[in-house]
Structures are given as structure tokens and as C-alpha cells.
A and B are shown apart, each in its own frame.
Chain A
Amino acid sequence: GENVEQHPSTLSVQEGDSAVIKCTYSDSASNYFPWYKQELGKRPQLIIDIRSNVGEKKDQRIAVTLNKTAKHFSLHITETQPEDSAVYFCAAGGTGGSYIPTFGRGTSLIVHP
């Protein structure tokens, strides 16, 4: 089955800095890579996703890059703000049949004012 590794487990930055979270996956059949943000005590919510036919996607201050050859993808947050503080999860899955994503273990991002 799919195996997703996520690093780092904790990331501490100053407000205004950039933050990068990296994930690797093992199954070359995976073709959909979402990122979820989970604030303390809340449910995970999708913030950005990318399909394997796209190398990069951007939405305001967040972007995701995908390297299919190396089987890794990354989340980039620029100009971080205190409200970006949360746990971020990557996931990978194939959409050919039933969609069953595998999640990374999460990165706790702390943005210091």
C-alpha cells in the first residue's frame, strides 16, 4: 500500500517568514495530493490540492509543488501570519477506483508574532 512520510513534525517561524513542509510517497499510482489544515480542536479542511499532471499550483500565499519522478511534494507558505499556526497534513491517493488517501503524520506550524 501507499506510505506517506511528512517532515518536519514541528516547524517554528517568525511572522513574515516562509514555511516549507515536505512529503514523500511510495506508490507511483497515486495521482492526487491534497493538503489539509487543522486548527486546534477543529476538523481538517482542504487548503490546496494538486494532481499528478501538474507540477505546481498557487493560491495567494500558499503553493504546492510536485516532483513525480522523485515522488515528493511540498507545501510552501509565504509571508506567514499568526493565524497560519495549525497542524498541516499531506495526503496521497489514486483516483482510478475507490479514493483511499494515505495521510502523513502532520506538521505543527507555529508562527511567532
Chain B
Amino acid sequence: NAGVTQTPKFQVLKTGQSMTLQCAQDMNHNSMYWYRQDPGMGLRLIYYSASEGTTDKGEVPNGYNVSRLNKREFSLRLESAAPSQTSVYFCASSEVRGASNEQFFGPGTRLTVL
């Protein structure tokens, strides 16, 4: 079991460039999430997908789009990158298992926008 995987691990973009962050999970989870982590700000939800075929905005969705390609994969796209999107991005997945709703996180993507 690989758990949650993300690509790329690091990326440097120039302002205005676009890119897609890829995420996949092999735990058969229905729910998937994209977070950004900035110093002192905790984990802020960008978008989530409660099940295949559905996506919803989180706390900070502006400047991002997502695609739930199938049950395994959930991608995050930056159409026109801005320096304010410099951050560490985490994908996560979860499923109710008994009394737990544990979220499993990917290793993260460190993005710098110049």
C-alpha cells in the first residue's frame, strides 16, 4: 500500500504560469481533500471531494480548480500562478472506519511562485 502519493515534490513557477498537482490514493477512500500550509496558518482547505463525481469549495478556493478524475485520483490546477500561492500543498483522503475519520496525507508539494 502506497497510501497517498503526490507529484511533483517541488516546483518553481513564474507568475502567470499554470500547473497541475497530482494526487492518488490506493485505500479505496471516498473523500479526498487539497490543503495549503503556510507558516503559522495551519492547514487551510482549498477544495474537497466527498465522493467520485463531486467537488466543493473549501476555505480558500480562489485561483484554483480541481478534478476528481476517478475514485483514486484528485488533481489541483493553478491556471495563472501568483506569488501568494507560494505554499506547501497537501492532498489527503479519508473514510469512516468505526469510530475514526482519520485523514491520510500525502508527502506534500512545495511550490514557489516567483
Contacts and interface: CB of A to CB of B under 8 A. Distances in A.
A35 B27 CA distance: 21
A43 interface: yes
B99 interface: yes
A45 interface: yes
B45 A100 contact: yes
A103 B58 CA distance: 12
B11 to A, nearest CB: 16
Interface centre among B40, B42, B56, B94 (most CB of A within 10 A): B42
B107 A43 contact: yes
A32 B39 CA distance: 25
Contact of B43 (A51, A95, A99, A103): A103
A43 B106 contact: yes
Contacts, number: 55
A24 to B, nearest CB: 14
A38 B103 CA distance: 13
Contacts of A101: 101, 103
Contacts of B41: 105
Given A43-B108, A99-B31, 8 more contacts: A34-B103, A43-B106, A46-B102, A89-B43, A95-B101, A98-B31, A99-B101, A103-B42
The 3 closest A-B pairs by CB, nearest first: A98-B50, A43-B105, A105-B42
Interface of A: 6, 9, 32, 34, 36, 42-46, 49, 51, 89, 93, 95, 97-106
Interface of B: 31, 40-45, 48, 50, 56, 58, 90, 94, 96, 99-103, 105-108
